Amino acid sequence: MSYPVHGDQTVFLVLSGPSGAGKSTLISSFLRRRPEFVRCISVTTRQPRPGERHGIDYFFTTTDEFNRMVLDGAFLEHAQVFGQHSYGTPRSFVAENFAAGRSVIKDVDVQGAIQIRRSFPTAVQVFVVPPSREEIERRLRTRATEGEEAIRRRLSEAQLELMQWAEYDYLVYNGDLEVAVDDVAAVVRAEQLKAPGRGTHRV
């Protein structure tokens, strides 16, 4: 009698949490360790910043095209950020990488995670817990990409987002980066070892 070989299926891993939780840094470190994963590239209506490349950092598009994609159901989640530019997670990106045997990792805010929970129920959702409010503020200011008003707005939103942690599959405390990467890797392994049929992924 032979037994099924299991443990290598693709995973759509969604990391969520407040701005300043360290999601991007955590994902970058995780990807260096796990090359079978790819970072999900978002579609956006904003203009490229210096050094950003289409298809590498973002898929840049027009507002009209973005709205057409919304109507066509092309996004797993989408939102307008601070009433300005729109961002969305393209359904096709996840589907194409799954077809090629690659797993996908994505960072998204709490509202985006709620949408993905509906559009892709088998996505594995991880809430990244920052060490403290003070550390969130320090990280936001270290970026030096936003003004005082935007920073205060993000800090206010962070308080609300932190109340949503119980809606997630896993919690990862991001106080020590290497430990946090280990924890994310453990989440992936746990999901890959689930019995066949318990995590069927459909995009």
Residue pLDDT, tens place only, 16-44: 988 778 899 999 999 999 999 999 999 99
CA neighbor of 81 nearest in space, from 45, 48, 55, 116 = 45
HSE at residue 139, side-chain half, CA atoms within 13 A, is 20
Question: So what's the pLDDT on residue 9?
Answer: 85
Question: So what's the pLDDT on residue 25?
Answer: 93
CA neighbor of 75 nearest in space, from 85, 63, 89, 87 = 89
Q: Which runs of E-coded beta strand occur in the chain? A: 12-16, 37-39, 43-44, 59-60, 75-81, 85-90, 103-108, 124-129, 170-173
If you search the block for the tokens 């962070």, which residue do you land on?
A: 158
Question: So what's the pLDDT on residue 144?
Answer: 62
Q: Domain 12-192 falls in which CATH fold?
A: Rossmann fold (3.40.50)
**Regions of the chain short of the pLDDT cut 70:** 1-8, 144-146, 196-203
pTM equals 0.85
Confirm if 171 and 157 have CB atoms less than 8 A apart. no
Residue 56, φ and ψ in degrees, nearest 5: -110, -55
